[in-house]
Amino acid sequence: MIGHQDGFSVYSTLARNRDKLWFGRLCGESVTANSMNQERIYYFDNNATTRVAPEVLESMMPFLTEHWGNASSAYRFGNHVAREIKVARAKVASLINADPNEVIFTGCGTESNNAAWQSALLTQPDKRHILTTSVEHSANMKFGEELRRRGYEVTFLPVESDGSLDIHLLEKSIRPDTALASVMFANNETGVLFPIDEISAICRSRGALFHTDAVQVAGKLPIDVRDSRIDYLSLSAHKLHAPKGIGVLFVRKGAPFTPYLVGGGQEKGRRGGTENVPYIVGFGRAAELAIESLPVERNEVRKLRNHLEETILVTIPRTSRNGARANRLPNTCNLAFEGVEAEAVLLLLDQAGICASSGSACKTGSLEPSHVLTAMGLPATLSRASIRFSLGIYNTAEEVEHVLRELPLIISRLRAADQPVAADREAAGVTA
Ligand code: PLP
């Protein structure tokens, strides 16, 4: 198990398996189960996080072992490190077609989001309103609530039943005092995509800055910040096969910006804190790999996702898709299984080695239905019966078949177990 190995032996294991892993990735062989794990894992939770690519780990290691200098130092030992940060910045910039100077490294996607929102408010003190949606990641939902407590106004726009946003409503809701409109590029639970080009154009014409949380899109679909009038865009490395704990905030040249973390003059004074060099280098390598593997995400991963989803919908009765079918990420599939509790499904999937997720959150001992599915108007019973499968470039057809074998058995087992309860309730006249 990985927990019994130290970092270096994990690295050597990965390095030894590197060619095998890379070969597997190209040939569609399973690489999720390798010598790192004694127990085979069928990983279908790539929107939660992704495995670190061996190439990424390899790029990072010299910056933990040999080149550990501080990039701000005057001597060559530090200068070398500063140069590598510059190289990584250029690589991440090309992933979104930005200028490297528009890329600020942060600690995570959450920080990038919070920084964009706070900056928009602080640089326009006469504007105290933020417009966003009711299906944003909790990084925005919770920060919005916090801003309300601090006296700002935040509007969370409703969404349609397929998870899409009424653009006219957005347009009507922009006010003269709207400092920022923030609409995610793609939803993490349903994969539903928002028309960022259109939205950014509306914001521009109405004089509001525009931020988009593109954390789920990078590496899955192309992003071109030059195609639209995006002022701020957030990324997180751990969604594209780099480690957790490193993010990026794109700030368009000319867009107002004031730092969220104030300290040393790092990132040209836009984000204090000594640079996390190995992770920045890893993010750069991951961005390079993501550009290469975009066709795989768009075609192969989409095919696998479609096969998984369509087969489930056909073979398991009383099952429905949550969110629009066409306009969504190629890897995400969110399904409601009537008559079961998602947490029970996840537990049984886990016993079969399958990692998936539900949008439910455990709050003070009870399961809160997902705020995304609730905003789409799904009843709480269906929301609590919903499972997200999110695929990635390492998934194989054989792994999908494993899910297709196990899931119908799990659902019918849980439904059968629930039947006496349902019958008792019916007999007692309980309808809800
Ligand atoms: N935004 C979205 C859409 C996400 O899915 C996530 C992570 O799940 C985040 C932001 C937060 O990113 P991080 O985990 O790097 O803080």
pLDDT digits (tens, 9 = 90+) for 300-318: 999 999 999 999 999 999 9
The answer to whether residue 205 scores a pLDDT higher than 80 is yes
Closest ligand 1 atom number to CA of residue 48: 8
pLDDT of residue 108: 98
Sorting pLDDT into bands at 50, 70 and 90, what band is 32? low
pLDDT of residue 359: 75
What does the buried/exposed string (b/e) look like for 151-174 if buried means 16 or more CB atoms within 10 Å of the residue's CB?
ebbbbbbebeebbbbeeeebeeeb
Q: Could you tell me the sign of the dihedral formed by the alpha carbons of 302, 307, 308, 312, in that order?
A: positive
Residue 243 lies in a domain: yes
Closest ligand 1 atom number to CA of residue 49: 8
What single string gives the DSSP state of each residue in 279-335?
HHHHHHHHHHHHHHHHHIIIIIIHHHHHHHHHHHHHHSSSEEE-S-SSSB-TTEEEE
**Average pLDDT in the chain:** 90
pLDDT of residue 29: 45
CATH number at residue 203: 3.40.640.10
The answer to whether residue 151 scores a pLDDT higher than 80 is yes
Residue 312 lies in a domain: no
Sorting pLDDT into bands at 50, 70 and 90, what band is 365? low
Cα 318 to averaged position of ligand 1 atoms, centre (Å): 31
To the query of whether residue 108 is one of the catalytic residues in this protein, the response is: no
pLDDT of residue 1: 29
Residue 324 lies in a domain: no
Cα 152 to averaged position of ligand 1 atoms, centre (Å): 23
pLDDT mean over 158-182: 98
Between CA 271 and CA 264 the distance in angstroms is 8
Q: How many CA atoms lie within 13 A of 246 on its CB side?
A: 28
Residue 231 lies in a domain: yes
Residue 175 lies in a domain: yes
Residue 299 lies in a domain: no
pLDDT of residue 427: 56
Sorting pLDDT into bands at 50, 70 and 90, what band is 10? very low
Classified as helix, coil or strand, 180 is: strand
Closest ligand 1 atom number to CA of residue 246: 15
Cα 191 to averaged position of ligand 1 atoms, centre (Å): 13
Is the Cβ–Cβ distance between 237 and 107 less than 8 Å?
no
Q: Catalytic: which of 108, 203, 355, 362?
A: 362
Residue 118 lies in a domain: yes
pLDDT of residue 4: 34
Residue 129 lies in a domain: yes
Q: Which residues contact ligand 1 via a Cβ below 6 A?
A: 108-110, 137, 139, 184, 188, 213, 215-216, 236, 238, 247
pLDDT of residue 362: 58
If one residue of 216, 232, 279, 372 were mutated to test the ligand 1 pocket, choosing by the most ligand atoms within 8 A of its CB, it would be: 216
pLDDT of residue 424: 53
Tally of domains within the chain: 1
Total-model pTM: 0.89
Cα 7 to averaged position of ligand 1 atoms, centre (Å): 25
Q: Whose CA is nearest to atom 9 of ligand 1?
A: 109
Lowest mean pLDDT among 185-189, 270-274, 347-351, 359-363: 359-363
The answer to whether residue 408 scores a pLDDT higher than 60 is yes
pLDDT of residue 425: 53
Closest ligand 1 atom number to CA of residue 187: 3
**pLDDT by residue (tens digit) across 72-102?**
999 999 999 999 999 999 999 999 999 999 9
Which residues span the domain enclosing 267?
A: 62-289
Cα 236 to averaged position of ligand 1 atoms, centre (Å): 7
